[in-house]
Chains A and B, each alone.
Chain A
Amino acid sequence: MSTPTDGPEDRDESRGGDRDEDRDSASAPASTGGEPHAGKRVERETVGERRPIVEARVVPVIASGVLAVAVIGFFTGIAPAPEAAFEIRASREVASDLPRAPSHADLAAGFAAQASEAAVGSLTEEPPAATEEEIREALALREQRRAYDGAPPRVPHPMTQTGALDCVACHQDGFVLEGRVAKMMSHETYASCSQCHVEDVHSMPSARNALADGPPIDTRFVGLEAPVAGPRAWDGAPPVIPHSTQMRERCESCHGVLAEGLRTSHPWRQSCTQCHAPSAEYDLRPMAELGPIGAAP
């Protein structure tokens, strides 16, 4: 690199080193001619001096290249930025010609909030635990649809099952529409739903006198009532599950957010049986002392 104080003549000298080498490099015009110098250098090389890593005439080329890049880079760096292709505005400043999409906060308030399960706004509210009134109502509704506590509920709408997915479409995960709830199944998914769940009211056409004559249906059977609350070891302890968990393994079906009336106070906790023990009286899973079937006593 040239320094401001160097004059042209000085430039050559300031490079330092062997003046004979400078003469060989391309950037330095031949300041001396004459073969005797070249020959002298060559002689020196052949006599036994170390061969340089880079030949003398190449170094000025490399140096000039580096110098050029540095100069260009410097001026590029301090140049002003080009004009942007479009303007990026802050998000609050919406262009007036685009329609305004409602934000999630707005969704929470309107009709869409009720229909949309994914209404994020509602998640910020902690759903209160069911009140006693709601529990009673829910239990009454449950009783209407079940012959006894633990019986499969009857289907309160017309139903035809022609394949595995018919029922699962709504009842796998549950569904809310305009305040009506399609409950999530309380048990794992099975294919043949209509094997256990029959219509509460038949959908056969013109079933004349279907219930009025023929065998009487005012049964004398009184079914096991649903439990209202589970026993607690002390005030504040998690209550024991007061019913059998057979076919009722998915607690959120009745006690979760979509369920009316039997809502837990803490639906965000997913592992219910971590705290709530199954009932010893209604849990009919095998007891250890019975041993394997058919084994000698």
Chain B
Amino acid sequence: MDRRDFLRQMAMTAASAAVVGSVEAQRAIVPLGTSPRDGVTWNKAPCRFCGTGCHVQVGVRQGRIVGIQADPLAEVNKGHLCVKGYHVGLAPYGPDRLTRPLLRRNGEMVPISWDQALDVIADRIQQNPAGFALYGSGQWTIPEGYAGTKFVKGGLGTNNIEANARLCMSSAVTGFLATYGVDEPASCFDDLDRCDVMICWGNNPAEMHPVLFSRFLDRRSRGERTTLIDIGTRRTRTTGFADHYLEFKPHTDTAIALGIMALLVREGTYDRQFVERHCAFRAPEAQNPTLQGEAIDFETWKSRIAEYTPERVQEISGVPAREIRRLAELFGNRDLRIASFWCMGMNQHTAGTAINSLVHGVHLLSGHWGREGDGPSSLTGQPSACGTVREVGTLVHLLPGGLSVAKPEHRAAVERRWNLPEGRISDRIGPHTMEMFRRFCLPADQGGDIDTIWVQVTNPGQTIPNATEYFDRARELDGKFLIVSDAYPTLTTRAADLVLPSAMWVEKNGMFGNSERRTQQWFKMIDPPGEARDDCWQIIAVARKLFDRGHPGMRDAEGKFIFHTTDASGREVPIWDFRRYYDVNVDERLFDEYRGFSTAKHKNLAPYAEYVRARGLRWPVVETEGGAWQETRYRFVEGEDPFVPEGAGFQFYHSTSEDDRAQIWFHPYNPPPEVPDDAYPFWLCTGRVLEHWHSGTMTMRIPPLRRAMPQAYVEMHRDDARQLGIANGDLVRIESRRGHVDITAWIDGRGQPPRGSVFVPFFDERLRINLVTLHEYDPFSKQPDYKKCAVKIRRAPRGASA
């Protein structure tokens, strides 16, 4: 170990000690199992992958990860993991990690120094600040997202920051806003331990949230009677475990929700008392519908919903009327505890806001709300879409803590907190993700005002729908510049003009927020390879470069650098110099600054030190009289939510009707924008598989996962295959109005779609299914629909290769 490393180690230890404070407290944060044997030390971290947020113990020996154990202390996973979690320790060790900044010169990617790279970025920004956008991720850590949003909104003075959560959770957010007035998952994973009935609305938790699914499923082997209802468009692994499977035609889930509510009203089995005391009714305006909609009375709502009889729902959705009746019967029974879960089936939906609102409505109307095991539960896909993007507000219209760019008092409050001159934060809402990339793919004179996008921790080249129009086009245009920070080469880095090697997961400090509002923390455990550096550092370094060049936005009202950081003695620490970046815990500094915003919408966060100690804490976390920090399991419920006064029962204190009521919405069923027709007779659905995470940049390089699922495929019904002359394993061309892909058919493989429908997973960069998918999005959330578009299928022409 050389002197620099030794000093760094000492500084890190001192920083850790400073973080915790007293000597006694330092003992409390000693990681478990630290008497190293064979030199292995174990430390906690949340898993890098999905929104479940399992905790793992990472075994490190001589600066390398050697093993993973499921953390027995973690409340989320209680000593269990899924196959991805067990192999998350292999994620940093793919052979082709990016290790040096690369700049495209004459078509070649040329290694350059970090200083040169920062200059290139600063040049681009100064050239056209209004045309610069930062595109981040639900896999950004909380401090990364916070630094990004402060840099763009508080520094550059634009609102051009978006994140891939727009493609993932946006409709869940608008559903929450429409119903409760605030983006707030009101329940928690404890529902899994207590519900009598679990209903899956278009999701496949056996593969996508496996640890949560098992938490429910394994109750049966302990003798509990539970019922699993799978409402889906194709048979999945989840269906194999389900008691009832309700197959619906794509997009018609809204009709099912409407049908349940209509029947509850007609039979009089809805919860009268709950509705009268805690609910109000709303519908979209007839002209120019908005997210807020307009208030309607119960009678109006009843009359609009009346047409959705079980027979009408059967006609629309294909689900038999008796199944609708069965569901209504379940919901009409107040003794049962019913938990609804959903993910991308309801979110990646051109009526995503509608279906989210309606499912919340079903639970509110029937009174299945606010008890353990009884309520609607939106599952997050990514590890920190909830914690970073939504809460920190890394979207064009948001500010930290759930505040809005649109409201002058919110902008002023944020400016005050950031000590910025008045008016620094722009009131012009930037372009949302689909719009941002659309403009990036247009020349300046055709409305293409976005000319530089900096992408961090995501892979839009592979994951944006209709990729030809919304991503590839930019390559053909002059004047467009793509900067990508990533750990591995991806389709996005291959299209980039500047590639920045990035540290991943436990190569840096970090914090995530999972589906149940649980903020989780981890410390850096290993070094990133080569010159790979933290994404957060990259943002701060670019900000400093602009500061040095005199950019006024990088100064606060007192002329100090907006990421000004001091050590314990008050001296400024030059954290923009990567050699000094770990002299202090930048994560802690940014988080404790961000914490101040969390009280505005009652999303109170505890101090950083509490998260170091805990396996995550669910916000709001409030300090009790004894000095302990108490987390919250259920929002808006007396006795659970610290902000609901005694005697109130339930209180929706962010209610859009400002009367402490939740909103039950009416949305009519409307057909989707693209339906199968004679030319394109099949439905195409896309999604994930158990073994691979998103675009596979990490998991495709993990041998056990890659060998189990080496390549993407198309699932189709055997009768369709027979009719088209396609045998199992044949190469098939899937073509839409937007593009085509040649892919292997797998019949009766992992899932079984019904006739007229096919499914393709999107993890394989060689089989870019997003060339085929549809760019249409929900009008309120702007989230595109990856689950439905029209395609034609035939055996691939000769000479085609997969």
Give A residues with C-beta under 8 Å from B. 147-152, 154, 161-164, 189-192, 194-202, 204-211, 213-224, 244, 246-247, 279-287, 289-291, 293-297
Contact = CB atoms under 8 A, between A and B. Distances in A.
The number of chain B residues touching the other chain, given as a range, is 35 or more
- Which of A190, A192, A205, A216 is most buried by chain B, counting CB atoms within 10 A of its CB? A192
Nearest to A155: B708
B206 to A, nearest CB: 6
Interface stretch (B69-77, B302-310, B406-414): B69-77
Q: Which 4 A-B pairs have the closest CB atoms?
A: A205-B729, A210-B710, A206-B729, A198-B708
A196 B744 contact: no
Contacts of A164: 217, 220, 241
Interface of A: prevailing SS? loop
A150 B86 CA distance: 9
Given A202-B708, A224-B66, 7 more contacts: A147-B86, A192-B218, A206-B744, A214-B765, A246-B70, A247-B79, A280-B33
Contacts of A202: 707-710
A166 B229 CA distance: 20
8 contacts: A147-B703, A148-B66, A195-B82, A207-B711, A208-B711, A217-B707, A293-B615, A296-B627
Interface of B: 22, 24-25, 27-28, 32-33, 35-37, 40, 42, 57, 59, 61, 64-73, 79, 81-83, 86-87, 89-90, 93-96, 206, 210-211, 213-214, 217-218, 220-221, 237, 240-241, 488, 610, 613-615, 617, 626-631, 690-691, 696-697, 700-711, 713, 728-731, 744-746, 749, 764-766, 801-802
Contacts of A244: 69
- Which of B57, B94, B626, B713 is most buried by chain A, counting CB atoms within 10 A of its CB? B94
A295 B28 CA distance: 11
Contact of B802 (A208, A217, A283, A293): A208
Given A191-B221, A196-B82, A294-B614, A163 B628 contact: no
A287 to B, nearest CB: 6
Contacts of B81: 196
Contact of A204 (B72, B237, B746): B746
Contacts of A148: 66-68, 89
A219 B95 CA distance: 6
A196 B68 CA distance: 13
A211 B707 CA distance: 8
A247 B730 CA distance: 40
Given A191-B220, A219-B94, A246-B70, A147 B701 contact: no
A240 B653 CA distance: 57
B617 A294 contact: yes
Contacts of B701: 215-217, 219
A144 to B, nearest CB: 11
A198 B35 contact: no
A198 B33 contact: no
Contact of A192 (B40, B70, B96, B217): B217
A234 to B, nearest CB: 20
A198 B237 CA distance: 13
Contacts of A220: 93-95
Contact of A200 (B87, B94, B708, B801): B708
Contact of A224 (B67, B70, B96): B67
A287 B90 CA distance: 28
A189 B36 CA distance: 31
Contact of A282 (B33, B626, B631, B802): B33
- Which of A149, A194, A215, A293 is most buried by chain B, counting CB atoms within 10 A of its CB? A215
B67 A150 contact: yes
B707 A163 contact: no
Contact of B86 (A151, A211, A222): A151
B617 A223 contact: no
Nearest to A159: B708
B708 A161 contact: no
Given A223-B67, A224-B67, A284-B71, A217 B706 contact: yes
Contacts of B241: 163-164, 191-192
Contacts of A205: 728-729, 744-746
Given A192-B214, A286-B32, A297-B28, A198 B709 contact: yes
Contacts of B615: 293
Contacts of B221: 189-191
Contacts of A283: 33
B87 A215 contact: no
A6 B69 CA distance: 106
Given A281-B36, A284-B33, A191 B83 contact: no
A281 B41 CA distance: 9
B744 A207 contact: yes
Contacts of B22: 297
Contact of A215 (B24, B93, B613, B696): B696
A214 B33 contact: no
Contact of A213 (B68, B237, B766): B766
Given A195-B210, A220-B95, A211 B706 contact: yes
B76 to A, nearest CB: 12
A151 B206 CA distance: 20
Given A161-B240, A207-B711, A192 B67 contact: no
Nearest to A213: B766
A154 B708 contact: yes
A95 B764 CA distance: 73
A191 B222 CA distance: 11
A195 B35 contact: no
Contacts of A204: 709-711, 713, 744, 746, 749
- Which of A201, A282, A283 is most buried by chain B, counting CB atoms within 10 A of its CB? A282
A290 B28 contact: yes
Contact of A222 (B66, B79, B213, B801): B66
A152 B94 contact: no
A185 B93 CA distance: 30
A9 B471 CA distance: 139
B94 A293 contact: no
B68 A150 contact: yes
A198 B691 contact: yes
A216 B802 contact: no
A205 B705 CA distance: 17
A194 B95 CA distance: 28
Contact of B710 (A196, A197, A207, A222): A207
Contacts of A210: 710-711
A154 B66 contact: no
B711 to A, nearest CB: 4
Contacts of A296: 626-628
Contacts of B25: 297
A285 B72 contact: yes
Nearest to B610: A294
Contacts of B61: 224
Given A222-B64, A224-B40, A284-B71, A295 B628 contact: yes
A149 to B, nearest CB: 7
Contact of B27 (A149, A208, A289): A289
A280 B32 CA distance: 10
Nearest to A283: B33
Nearest to B696: A215
Contacts of A149: 67
A119 B36 CA distance: 46
A237 B750 CA distance: 50
Nearest to B752: A162
Nearest to A212: B710
A223 B94 CA distance: 14
A152 to B, nearest CB: 6
B28 A281 contact: no
Nearest to A206: B729
- Which of B86, B89, B240, B690 is most buried by chain A, counting CB atoms within 10 A of its CB? B86
